[in-house]
Amino acid sequence: MTEISARVVPTAVMATISTVFPGFLIGALSVQVGDELQVSDARYGWLLGGFFLAAAAGSRVTGALVQRIGPRRQMSAALAATAVVQLLIATTIDSFNGLVILLGCAGFANAANQTAVNLALTRAKLPRLGLAIAIKQSGMPTASMLAGFSVPAIALTVGWRWAYVGGALVACGSLLMVRREIKPFEVTDRRGSVVVSSRRSLLIAAVSGFFLAFCAGALNAWTVESGVDAGLGEGTAGLMLSLGAASGIALRLIAGTRVDTMNIRPFRVAGLTVLVGAVGMAMLSNRSGGIHVGATVVAFAGGWIWPVFSNFGIMRTNKEAAGAASGVTQTGVFVGVFVAPVLTGWLIDTWGFSTMWLVVAASAVLGAIAALVVADEF
C-alpha cells in the first residue's frame, strides 16, 4: 500500500465541504427557491430530504466499495459528480421534481465521499486521529456556514442559482487536491479490513445517529425560515445560520485537541453535549427574535459537536475497516437528516414552528440516551 500524503487532512476537509454543500445550501435557500418554485414548507422539505435519502441508500454500498477501490478513486468520482450536478441545478432546473432528482444524485455522491474520507484518514496513520477527525468534521458546519452566507451575499444580490455555480467551482478545486494529495493504494490484506465492532453496537450507534442527525437536519433546514417567522430579516436570519455553524466549528476544533487523550468514552461525551444542545432547540420554540438569536447558538454548539466523538469512537475501533463500519452507522445519520425536513416541514404547516422545535428537542434527548447506552462499546 502506497503511503497517503500527510496533507490528507486539509484535503479531507475540502472534500467534505464540497459534497455536503449542495444539501445544506438548499436548506438555506428555502425562502428564495420556495418562492420561485411555488412549493409549501412540507413539500419543500423533500428537497433536503431527497439529498439525504439518497445518501442513506448509498452509504453501506459505497462503504464496502471503498474498501476495494480505495479512497482516491471514490473521492474523485464523488467530487466530479457533485460539480456536474450543481452546474445542472444552476443552468437547467425549472421544476421541483427535477431539483429533487438532481439533489438525490448529489446525496449519493456525498455518501460515497464521506465513507472514502473516513478510510483515507485512518489509513494515513496520523499521530492524532481524533484531531484529524475533528478538523474533518468541521467541514460539515463550514458548509452550513457558507450556505448561510450565500443568502445575503449571493441569493439576494445576483440570484440563488449562482450559489450553486460557486459550489461547483469549489468541488472542482477539491477534486484537484484529491488527485494531488491522496495517493493510490491497493488493499492487500483482506483480513485487516474486517469490521471489529459487533453488529449490535453498530446498529445502536446508527439509531443514535438517526435521532441526532434529525436534530442537525432540522437546524440546517429551518433556522433561516424560523428566524424570519420570529421577526428577523431574511439576510439577518441567514447570518444567524452562519453564526450557529461557526460556533459548531469552533467547538469541534476545541474538542479535537482533547479527544485523543481524554479518559471518558467518546460516545458518552457525545450524549452529554447533545443534552445541552437540546435546551437551545427547545428555546427556539419561543417566537421572539432576540431569543431566537441566542437559542440558535446554543442549539448548534451543543447539537452539532457530537459527530467528532461518535466518528472518533467508530473509526478508532475499526481502523482498517473505517469505510465499511462508518457506512453502517452513517446510514442512520443520513436517514435522520432525510426524515428531518420532511417531518418538520409537515409539523410547521400543521402546528407551527413552536411545536416543531419541541419535537426536535425531544429527538435530541432520545439520541443522547442511545449514545450513552452504547458508550462502552467504542
Task: Please tell me the predicted confidence (pLDDT) of residue 1.
Answer: 34
Domain count, the chain: 1
Angle formed by the axes of helices 96-123 and 129-137, nearest 10°: 170
Predicted confidence band of residue 133 (pLDDT cuts 50, 70, 90): confident
Please determine, for residue 275, whether its predicted confidence score (pLDDT) is greater than 90: yes
Q: How much is the average pLDDT of 100-108?
A: 95
Instruction: Pick from 82-91, 224-233, 293-302 the range whose average pLDDT is largest.
Output: 82-91
* Predicted model pTM: 0.78
Task: Please tell me the predicted confidence (pLDDT) of residue 334.
Answer: 87
Confirm whether 136 is domain-assigned.
yes
Bin 224: left if φ > 0, else alpha if -120 < ψ < 50, else beta: alpha
Confirm whether 228 is domain-assigned.
yes
* All residues at 6 or more sequence positions from 254 whose CB lies less than 8 Å from its CB, including other chains: none
CATH number at residue 214: 1.20.1250.20
* All residues at 6 or more sequence positions from 63 whose CB lies less than 8 Å from its CB, including other chains: 115, 323, 324, 325, 326, 327, 328, 330
d(CA 351, CA 28): 22
- The CA-CA-CA angle for residues 142, 101, 351, to 5°, reads 70
Task: Please tell me the predicted confidence (pLDDT) of residue 24.
Answer: 86
Q: Which three cell numbers stand for residue 178?
A: 484529491
Task: Decide which of 159 and 337 is more confident.
Answer: 159
pLDDT tens sequence across 50-80: 898 899 999 989 988 998 899 999 999 999 9
User: Residue 34's CB: how many other CB atoms inside 10 A?
Assistant: 18
Q: Which three cell numbers stand for residue 85?
A: 450536478
Please determine, for residue 163, whether its predicted confidence score (pLDDT) is greater than 50: yes
Class of residue 199 by CB neighbours under 10 A (exposed 0-12, middle 13-18, buried 19+): exposed
Predicted confidence band of residue 2 (pLDDT cuts 50, 70, 90): very low
Please determine, for residue 191, whether its predicted confidence score (pLDDT) is greater than 50: no
Question: Cβ distance 95 to 38 under 8 Å?
Answer: no
Task: Please tell me the predicted confidence (pLDDT) of residue 187.
Answer: 52
pLDDT tens sequence across 5-38: 458 899 999 999 999 999 989 988 888 898 898 8
Within 13 Å, how many C-alpha atoms sit on residue 369's CB side? 7
d(CA 319, CA 14): 22
SS3 content of the chain, % helix, strand, coil (to 5): 85, 0, 15
Question: Cβ distance 135 to 249 under 8 Å?
Answer: no
Predicted confidence band of residue 185 (pLDDT cuts 50, 70, 90): low
* All residues at 6 or more sequence positions from 315 whose CB lies less than 8 Å from its CB, including other chains: 118, 121, 122, 129, 133, 322, 325, 326
Spatial CA neighbour of 27 closest among 46, 12, 2: 46
pLDDT tens sequence across 344-367: 988 998 999 999 999 999 999 999
Confirm whether 2 is domain-assigned.
no
Confirm whether 349 is domain-assigned.
yes
Confirm whether 1 is domain-assigned.
no
Q: How much is the average pLDDT of 41-45?
A: 76
Please determine, for residue 113, whether its predicted confidence score (pLDDT) is greater than 90: yes
Average pLDDT, the chain: 88
Predicted confidence band of residue 86 (pLDDT cuts 50, 70, 90): very high
Please determine, for residue 370, whether its predicted confidence score (pLDDT) is greater than 90: yes
Q: Where in the sequence is the domain holding 265, given as residue range(s)? A: 8-377
CA distances from residue 62 to 119, 144, 224, 324, 350 in whole angstroms, order as listed: 11, 24, 32, 8, 37
d(CA 77, CA 113): 8
* All residues at 6 or more sequence positions from 277 whose CB lies less than 8 Å from its CB, including other chains: 215, 298, 299, 300, 301, 302, 303, 304, 305, 364
Please determine, for residue 261, whether its predicted confidence score (pLDDT) is greater than 90: no
Predicted confidence band of residue 131 (pLDDT cuts 50, 70, 90): confident
